[in-house]
Amino acid sequence: MKSYIDWKQVEETNENPKMVELYMDQALQSAFCYTMAVEPPEHEWQGSKLLLTIIAGNDSTLQAIKAAVDIGSGGLSFGHGEKQLTDYKVVQQFRMYSDKGKYEN
């Protein structure tokens, strides 16, 4: 099993913040991630199970990510942002999923 420590470490700066990204129904949302806890996957082909996260972003993004987590989405990923002219492009480090109805706000 691959350890999270094995992944390329990127120093968190204003140019490269940690981020969460949601891709669902052809919509892409990304939010800044302040903390996250995941359960490592049992198999390499599985995503990590989301346990806890604290994120920040605009209201529509937060509502979309909250709804995706509540319904048990598999379209979540964690990574770091690369600053563009007007926003950040998320470079994915790992994928994750959430369990339907198992989280508090």
pLDDT digits (tens, 9 = 90+) for 8-53: 567 788 888 999 999 988 889 999 999 999 999 888 888 899 999 9
Helix/strand number for the chain, H first, E second: 1, 5
- Global pTM reads 0.82
Q: How many structural domains is the chain composed of?
A: 1
| Whole-number Å distance between alpha carbons of 78 and 92 | 6
> CA-CA distance, 59 to 95, in Å (whole number)?
23
- Domain assignment present for 36: yes
CA 84 to chain centre: 19
Amino acid 11: pLDDT: 78
Give the mean pLDDT of the chain: 87
Percentage with pLDDT > 90 across the chain: 64
Structure tokens at 76: 């979540």
- Where in the sequence is the domain holding 50, given as residue range(s)? 12-97
2 within a domain of the structure (yes/no): no
**According to the model, what pLDDT value does residue 63 have?**
93
8 Å CB contact between 75 and 24: yes
Q: Do the domain assignments include residue 61?
A: yes
